[in-house]
């Protein structure tokens, strides 16, 4: 398996502050291309037995209108489902929405995942630091799975030193994506929270 840091450039990250008034929201998105057909990627992101091998065990009814629970993480409801093109689910609350789109590119697939929440909940674009690194390592885990580089227990794998080092690097990448959607103080606080959550064992020396 190649060094995970080499995987950083395979993902593209974006943070937007959009809308106005009560409808204003922060949208955090990550894009990645997979050398696999859409049908295979769709199966990997929707079938419980495959999800458990790269993401986490998921229980419930993974159909339109069904409720689900990710083990050790959020639960929600399937809001939209258009196989094999994409789906939309609530994530931990009715105003926290995760959308996923799959677009064929020849024999490959372009995946885009977006997590949006109201600005009143996120505070600013720095809210991306609370969720972005988690989605970043998820799309990495999917890439490894589709290549046949199995990680064993995905939850245990995410706590390994190698993945924590990857997470620390993605935190820096998310800071760049945040741009002017947050103040420096908001970003600094978000970075500290993200490091504590996603890279608690990575020293400052290891990050520089």
Q: pLDDT digit string (tens) for 29-65? A: 999 999 999 999 999 999 999 999 999 999 999 999 9
pLDDT tens-place string over residues 114-142:
999 999 999 999 999 999 999 999 999 99
Confidence bin at 25 (pLDDT 50/70/90) = very high
Question: Is 190:129 a contact under the CB 8 Å cutoff?
Answer: yes
What are 91's two structure tokens?
């994530």
Beta strands in 67-187 (DSSP E): 67-70, 75-82, 86-90, 97-105, 108-118
3 state SS of 79: strand
What's the pTM value of the predicted model, to 2 decimals? 0.94
The residues, ordered by sequence, that sit 6+ positions from 193 with a Cβ below 8 Å of its Cβ are: 129, 130
- DSSP labels, 86-115: EEEEE-SSTT-EEEEEEEEETTEEEEEEEE
Beta strands in 91-207 (DSSP E): 97-105, 108-118
Report whether pLDDT(155) > 50: yes
Tell me the average pLDDT across 174-194: 97
Give the strand pairing for 75-82 and 86-90.
antiparallel
- The domains of the chain, with CATH numbers, are 4-207 (3.30.530.20)
Q: What are the backbone dihedrals phi and psi of residue 125, each rounded to the nearest 5 degrees, phi first?
A: -60, -20
3 state SS of 144: helix
């Amino acid at each position: 398996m190649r060094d995970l840091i080499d995987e950083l450039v395979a993902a593209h990250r974006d943070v937007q502050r959009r809308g106005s008034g009560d409808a204003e929201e922060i949208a955090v998105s990550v894009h990645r291309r997979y050398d696999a057909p859409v049908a295979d990627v769709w199966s990997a992101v929707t079938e419980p037995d495959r999800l458990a091998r790269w993401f986490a065990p998921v229980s419930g009814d993974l159909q339109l209108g069904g409720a689900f629970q990710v083990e050790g993480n959020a639960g929600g409801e399937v809001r939209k489902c258009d196989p094999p093109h994409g789906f939309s689910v609530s994530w931990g609350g009715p105003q926290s929405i995760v959308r996923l789109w799959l677009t064929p590119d020849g024999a490959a697939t372009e995946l885009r995942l977006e997590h949006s929440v109201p600005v009143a909940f996120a505070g600013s674009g720095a809210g991306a630091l609370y969720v972005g690194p988690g989605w970043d390592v998820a799309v990495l885990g999917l890439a490894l799975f589709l290549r046949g580089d199995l990680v064993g227990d995905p939850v245990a794998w995410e706590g390994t030193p190698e993945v924590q080092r990857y997470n620390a690097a993605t935190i820096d990448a998310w800071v760049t994506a945040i741009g002017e959607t947050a103040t420096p103080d908001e970003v600094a606080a978000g970075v500290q929270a993200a490091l504590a959550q996603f890279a608690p064992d990575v020293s400052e020396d290891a990050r520089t």
